[in-house]
Amino acid sequence: DTAVSQTPKYLVTQMGNDKSIKCEQNLGHDTMYWYKQDSKKFLKIMFSYNNKELIINETVPNRFSPKSPDKAHLNLHINSLELGDSAVYFCASRVWREGEQFFGPGTRLTVL
């Protein structure tokens, strides 16, 4: 069984479109994250939720809006996509303030 899953795995879309990425974890964790990995493999945190509450919101454009309907799910909606949004987006989860994070397989977003 996949611990942290993301859909879709690949997303190719035109500039200006709106798209969503979904993440689900079946580990019983209470904290979930979105990370962005750029073309140089640099991984940067975007958002963090604990028990459905937003606790970290890095300097991310307002076009990015995360939503956590419950502890096991964290979605990311992106409005008005731009070329610079092209990257791999990773979801991760862990027990609140306890060590290792478990990562999903990533969603490769390509904006044309």
Partner 1 sequence: SQQGEEDPQALSIQEGENATMNCSYKTSINNLQWYRQNSGRGLVHLILIRSNEREKHSGRLRVTLDTSKKSSSLLITASRAADTASYFCATDGFDQGGSEKLVFGKGTKLTVNP
**Chain contacts with partner 1 (rule: CB under 8 A):** 4, 40-45, 48, 55-56, 90, 92, 97, 99-106
Closer residue to partner 1 in complex, CB, 57/80: 57
Closer residue to partner 1 in complex, CB, 1/14: 1
Beta-carbon count within 10 A of 31 CB: 22
Among 71, 66, 28, 72, smallest CA distance to 52 is for 71
Closer residue to partner 1 in complex, CB, 13/105: 105
CB 97 to partner 1: min, Å: 6
